[in-house]
Chains A and B, each alone.
Chain A
Amino acid sequence: MITGNIVTDFCLLILFLPVVAFAINIFIGKRLPRQGDWVSVGAILITLVLSLSMLMNMFMNWDPNFSHEVQFSWIDLGAFKIELGFWVDNITIVMLVVVALISSTTHIFSLEYMKGDIRYSRYYAYLGLFTFSMNGIVLANNLISMYIFWELVGVSSYLLIGHWFEKHSAANAAKKAFLTNRVGDIGFFIGIMLMFTAIGSFNFQDLFSGISQGMISGQLLTLAGVGIFMGAVGKSSQFPLHIWLPDAMEGPTPVSALMHAATMVAAGVYLTVRLFPLFSPEALLIIAYVGGFTALFAATIAVTQNDIKKVLAYSTVSQLGYMILAVGVGNYIAAFFHLLTHAMFKACLFYGSGSVIHAMHHSLHELNDHDTDPQDMRNMGGFKSKMPITYWTMVIATLTISGVPFFSGFLSKDAILAGTLAFAQHYPQHFLLPLFGFGAAAITAFYMFRLIFMTFHGEVKMPKVFKGIHESPRAMTFPLILLSSLSFFIFYTLPYLNPFSDHGWFTELIQASDSVVKGNPTAGEIYEGIHHAHYPAMALSILVAGFGIGMSTLMYMKKKLSADIWSEKMGFLYKLSLNKYFIDENYNRFLYQPVLKLSRAIAFVDWDLYDKYFINGFGRVTKWLAFLTGRLDYEGLDQKLVDGVGRTTQGFGNQLKNVQTGRLQNYMLFALAGVIVILVMQTI
């Protein structure tokens, strides 16, 4: 069609249709009927169809080594060349489907959720922009275009988090998200440039071949790897740059589902998955510890949170930590698998919470109650009877995230935990990593069921509000049903039907590549280790999940254990957890305030000292010089020279006046003198 290759054509369409929808909605959206939401929805559905057809193609060809790369030259100055292009792999195709699917469900969900919003068309435009940017990251084959789309995704996040920017908290949250991302991106850019300086190209394949040839190695390679990982730390909200994701919940819930659960935050994981071959063993170790620590750390905060969306946010941070941990221990295919399943069930959970919040909003609005927080779980309770579809889909998603067998989450979590066990078996000094993994799994199960019990079970906390609660309309329940049904194991183990196996189309079609860095185990070695640790991991994870669910049931459903007494007994820990370990406050005190103070001091020096004295001094000196020059000109030149000529002429005139004496004899004398002159002239 456009280019010769149908894969390239599809990729171009997938990439550019959403941004065309963005342009239309931004400029003329307000004037279109229904504010132009059908433009965006249409574009994204076409994108979904195209991605699904590519997926079908992948299944039909069943080629695990499928790889298609197309390049075009962007800057070519002879010595300096930058080429951009696509790299389509099986990983790419799966990721495209994930993005298209979650984006489509978000568009459909928003039809109801954002109905009547004051900036409806702009919201849909920004969704299109985001989809475009995300697809750009997915399709990129070189670090430069990935970086460009990385930043674009950050911009879309800023625009969407700050959708209701009249709320100060939303505007601040948007700023915080973007700036924290930028901090990570500094490291990313340093990493990119280190690679480029050593190897001379931005292209992934060139980088891999360059590293295997030894163009960059040792500490420099580790540094570059850690730099690139910093980008993932920022984007995927790992410790210590996790601070923006909970605040990003100020944005609309569908946005939270799309960006901060399924796709944008997964971009960091995607980056590490793509570039896995170029991380050195030291870099991978750092990655593993950061991921593992984040997983546990975020889980401990989620336990005490009362805002339904905050619980899900910290849960996302924790799950992302899982994925990063998996990459670190070498099992990056498992990380990608978890990314896939996490997208499904986390989006479903967010939609469910969106549905609950939507119902709360309506009810509070009817009662003219503007003080109660519609997102606080302590104001809910017993919603099960009023919102059955929401309830059941959320239960399915919660079972998935907790790692209960027969669900997809069990398979992916199991793969990750098996990887950590294998790694610890190989390097016993890193026993903390599986500890992080299993600990986080237990706590995850605990707080997720806490969420379900507090919201849907138990006694009704606010009866008046409860009366106005009702199930959400179809546009909102449809994505819930779709995604929760995708959370069953069957879709991932095909063509096999064993719910406990670690085989399936996924593991068959998406093969791990070897790391090109010397010192790393090969893909085959990693796979062997995982396979051996598979069953122990499975058993342990079921145990741990059961423990978590059990504790949660006791505390919140059966009320055998009292949450209040426990929180008092562990008062100090409870306070730390509830206040997210005071990290934001400490950042403010030790980072933000000193920088602000410094900038204020510098501004003082510049404004009150430099400008006032130095710059104004110049002005005053110039004024004084001008004054002197004026005086010189006026009195010196004008008066003396110019007037002087006049005065001299006047003097001459006065003297010459005396010639006209009026006496005849004088005139005769002059005549005679003239005669003499003539005589003299005649003789000479």
Chain B
Amino acid sequence: MDSLTNYLFVSAALFCLGLYGVITRRNGVAVLMGVELILNSANINFLAFARFSGMNMAGHVYALFVIVLAAAEAAVALAIIINIFNNFKTINVDDVSQLRQ
């Protein structure tokens, strides 16, 4: 069933699940995983629209760039997380807040 809306639904579902993971999980890495899910859903969207608009290859290019960005961002994020772990001995997002009273 190759209709645009199916792909869009899938991507919407992934997006929402990623969102759920971001706002719910206490572990920093788990939050990162949620972010990855969101990025993936965006990718699906790009490609679905590329396919159903006369195979416009610009969509593919964008999807490529998204993947690149995701990688870079994942690397930096993990570096930060490791730093946090070294400093606070925990990566519980609630506990690493120094601003909060």
Contacts and interface: CB of A to CB of B under 8 A. Distances in A.
Interface in A630-684: 661-665, 668-669, 672
A661 B101 CA distance: 9
Contact of A662 (B19, B22, B23, B99): B99
Contacts of A663: 93-94, 97, 100
A663 B100 CA distance: 8
Nearest to A669: B23
Contacts of B97: 662-664
Nearest to A666: B23
B24 interface: yes
A590 to B, nearest CB: 102
Contacts of B24: 665
Interface string B65-101: 0000000000000000000000000000110010111
A668 B22 contact: yes
Nearest to A670: B23
B9 to A, nearest CB: 17
Contacts of A668: 22-23
Contacts of B19: 672
Contacts, number: 20
B100 A665 contact: no
Interface residues of B, number: 10
Nearest to B22: A668
Q: Which of B19, B22, B23, B97 has the most CB of A within 10 A?
A: B23
B101 A664 contact: no
A664 B99 contact: no
A419 B93 CA distance: 143
Nearest to B100: A662
A672 B23 contact: yes
Q: Which of A661, A664, A669 has the most CB of B within 10 A?
A: A664
B79 to A, nearest CB: 19
A672 B22 CA distance: 12
B77 to A, nearest CB: 14
A664 B97 CA distance: 9
A663 B95 CA distance: 9
A665 B93 CA distance: 9
A469 B62 CA distance: 158
Contacts of B94: 663
Nearest to B26: A665
A673 B24 CA distance: 14
B93 A662 contact: no
A663 B94 CA distance: 6
A679 to B, nearest CB: 13
B27 to A, nearest CB: 12
A491 to B, nearest CB: 130
Nearest to A663: B94
B22 A665 contact: yes
A490 B94 CA distance: 146
Contacts of B23: 665, 668-669, 672
Contacts of A662: 97, 99-101
B100 to A, nearest CB: 3
A488 to B, nearest CB: 133
Interface in B10-47: 19, 22-24
Given A669-B23, A672-B19, A661 B100 contact: yes
Contacts of A664: 93, 97
Contacts of B99: 662
Contacts of B22: 665, 668
A31 B22 CA distance: 116
A664 to B, nearest CB: 7
A556 B23 CA distance: 147
A663 B93 CA distance: 8
A663 B98 CA distance: 11
Contacts of A661: 100
A663 B101 CA distance: 10
Nearest to B97: A662
Nearest to A661: B100
A669 B23 CA distance: 6
A634 to B, nearest CB: 39
B5 to A, nearest CB: 18
Contacts of A665: 22-24, 93
A635 B100 CA distance: 41
A675 to B, nearest CB: 10
The 7 closest A-B pairs by CB, nearest first: A662-B100, A665-B23, A668-B23, A669-B23, A662-B97, A663-B94, A662-B99
Given A665-B23, A669-B23, 7 more contacts: A661-B100, A662-B99, A662-B101, A664-B93, A665-B24, A668-B22, A672-B19
Interface of B: 19, 22-24, 93-94, 97, 99-101
Interface of A: 661-665, 668-669, 672
20 contacts: A661-B100, A662-B97, A662-B99, A662-B100, A662-B101, A663-B93, A663-B94, A663-B97, A663-B100, A664-B93, A664-B97, A665-B22, A665-B23, A665-B24, A665-B93, A668-B22, A668-B23, A669-B23, A672-B19, A672-B23
